[in-house]
Amino acid sequence: MKIPSPKMTASVTPNTLVGRAKYEPEHGAIMWRIKKFQGEFECFLQCEVLLSGSLKDKPWVKPPIGLEFEIPMFTASGLRIRFLKVYEKSGYKPTKLHKTLTKGGDYEHRL
């Protein structure tokens, strides 16, 4: 999850029980990465953000929070591959393995 922060952010102290969160100045955001997420489960992230002093106090326009995810061995459409045949004249022997992966698109949430 990519949580934007103001440009004048000096430091961030994240607090979470699930995954790990870290302020990445090159992205200008707090990046919260969660390896595994169980169904019907909530997790929280609390951050303390320290801002550096500024002569101009302009209001911060809040950009959207972005989310990307992958779910291995799951197809959202319900598509199943029961068998697969490869016809090759050169005698190629394919391995008997196929892998499914569901990837989330660009999800954004505006506050």
- Specify the pLDDT at position 84: 78
Q: Specify the CATH number for the domain of residue 33.
A: 2.60.40
Provide the domain count of the chain: 1
- Can you give the pTM of this predicted structure? 0.68
Per-residue pLDDT of the chain (111 residues; tens, 9 = 90+): 899 988 888 899 999 999 999 999 998 899 999 888 777 888 899 999 898 876 566 777 888 888 888 878 878 788 887 777 778 778 787 777 777 888 887 788 887
Helix, strand, or coil (residue 110) = coil
- Specify the pLDDT at position 92: 80
Instruction: Supply the range of the domain harboring residue 104.
Output: 2-109
Q: Could you please report the per-residue DSSP string of 26-95?
A: TTTEEEEE-S---TT----EEEEEEEPP-SS-PPPP-PPEEE--EEET--TT-----------TT-----
Q: Which two tokens stand for residue 60?
A: 């911060």
